[in-house]
Amino acid sequence: PDRKTGHHLALGGVKNVSLNLTISNTGDDAYDTNIYFNFSREVFYINFWQRQEKGISCGLVDLDFLKCSVGFPFMRAQTKYHFAVIFDTSQLSGENETLQFLVQAKSANPEHKLSDNTLDFSIPLVHETDTTITGVVTPSSFVYGNSIDASRFVQLDDMECNFQPLNLTFQAINKGPSRLPGSTVDIRIPNRLAGSGADMFHIIETQVADGRGNCTPHRNPTPCTIPQDRDSIFHSIFAFFTKSGRKVLDCDRPGRACMTISCSLGPQLKEEALSIDIKLLLNTEILKRDSSSVIQFVTRGSVQVSDRAVEVPNGLPDDLSLVFEALHSQEPRGYVVGWIIAISLLVGILIFLLLAVLLWKMGFFRRRYREIIEAEKNRKDSEESWDWMEKNH
């Protein structure tokens, strides 16, 4: 017999498969010719179809064994028969990677060449699924700065840094229609303020629910990095007054240094979700050196199915973004406050002296005392003269 097969069988999508067969007799008339089918007990025989009425009949010998009689009582010499056998595959579990059919043709006549009388139909099985991913981050925002009480943060042993704890939770969901044999979730977290800066995050724990997967380990050898303050005092003061705007750290932007956590997940039934919990610490000492008032972290997550699965077309999104924000308290460091007060006093004194000089130049402080005394004397003399005239009259 000759065979015709497809590339693969998508579980959950295709319910029936058809084995298209051509059996030919190149010798003499063959008496009592039969074709036998062995297949999995998860597959059920439905019916057969023949292109022309050639006297073919099929019947089950057992649940996994089918016998088809061809041209009973005999198959004519130099003839070909074309027919198809249809099976129901809706009950396939997908535990095996292939669906196998063993087909063998036999007759009561003695055969001279038996190598072409047997076929092995092996159809690769793939699972048709619709996977999606959801997630949440807590807290969604936090405040940092020198004025924030250190008790609101986490301190590690023998380390001076204040760390902000964060919890990331992702859920990979299989919406079906078939079982998902496995998947990979990639999580990308922006890990540096600048390309050559220090790593900000320290992973405490990464866990897949019920131990049904594992994630790549990540270790930050220097979780407590305090950047050296190399800026001048004037630059620090300028940075304080100009601390505004929003900085966005997004792993989808080119040149951004990100940390990638890959988690391999086990099988999932239809409508089943698997959770990934990530506990991490953010070094706020690095954030304090940035000039932005708001730093926005955009974390990306995506899910990819294994080679034994295919996504349904136009399905649910298989990626997402989680956003959390670091808000600066907008209060300067202590020495900056001192310098602001000192500079303000100095500027005030300079302005006072400038006004004094201007007033002196304008003659505000030049009083003409002699002219004032003479004018006062003339006024008194005039009044006395006026009084004498009134007495004489």
State both tokens at 199.
């790593």
pLDDT at site 61: 94
pLDDT at site 291: 76
Contact 122, 19 (CB under 8 A): no
Using the CB atoms, write b or e for 150-166: b if 16+ within 10 Å.
Answer: eeebbeeeebebbbbeb
pLDDT in tens, the chain (393 residues): 444 444 678 876 667 889 999 888 877 888 888 999 999 999 999 999 887 777 889 999 999 999 999 877 778 888 888 899 999 988 888 788 889 999 998 887 776 555 568 889 888 888 889 999 999 999 999 999 888 888 999 999 888 899 999 999 999 999 988 889 999 999 999 999 887 788 999 999 999 999 999 999 888 888 998 887 655 555 555 555 555 578 999 988 887 889 999 999 999 999 999 999 999 999 999 998 887 889 999 999 999 999 888 898 889 999 999 999 999 886 655 445 565 677 788 888 888 888 888 877 776 666 555 666 777 777 776 766 655 566 555
Report the Cα–Cα distance between both ends of the chain, in Å, rounded.
162
Looking from the CA of 161 toward its CB, the CA atoms found within 13 Å total 21
State both tokens at 137.
């981050």
Q: From residue 267, give the alpha-carbon distance in Å to each of 179, 181, 204, 275.
A: 7, 4, 26, 13
Q: What is the C-alpha to C-alpha distance for residues 258 and 218, in angstroms, rounded to an integer?
A: 12
What is the crossing angle of helices 233-241 and 334-361, to 10°? 90
- Residue 335 phi, psi (nearest 5): -70, -25
Q: What is the C-alpha to C-alpha distance for residues 276 and 285, in angstroms, rounded to an integer?
A: 28
> What is the DSSP track for 127-195?
EEEEEEEEEEEESSEEEESTTS-GGGSB--TT----EEEEEEEEEEEEEEES-B--EEEEEEEE--SST
pLDDT at site 209: 94
pLDDT at site 243: 53
Q: From residue 74, give the alpha-carbon distance in Å to each of 113, 137, 150.
A: 19, 74, 94
Q: What is the C-alpha to C-alpha distance for residues 47 and 45, in angstroms, rounded to an integer?
A: 6
Cut 0.85: pTM above it = no
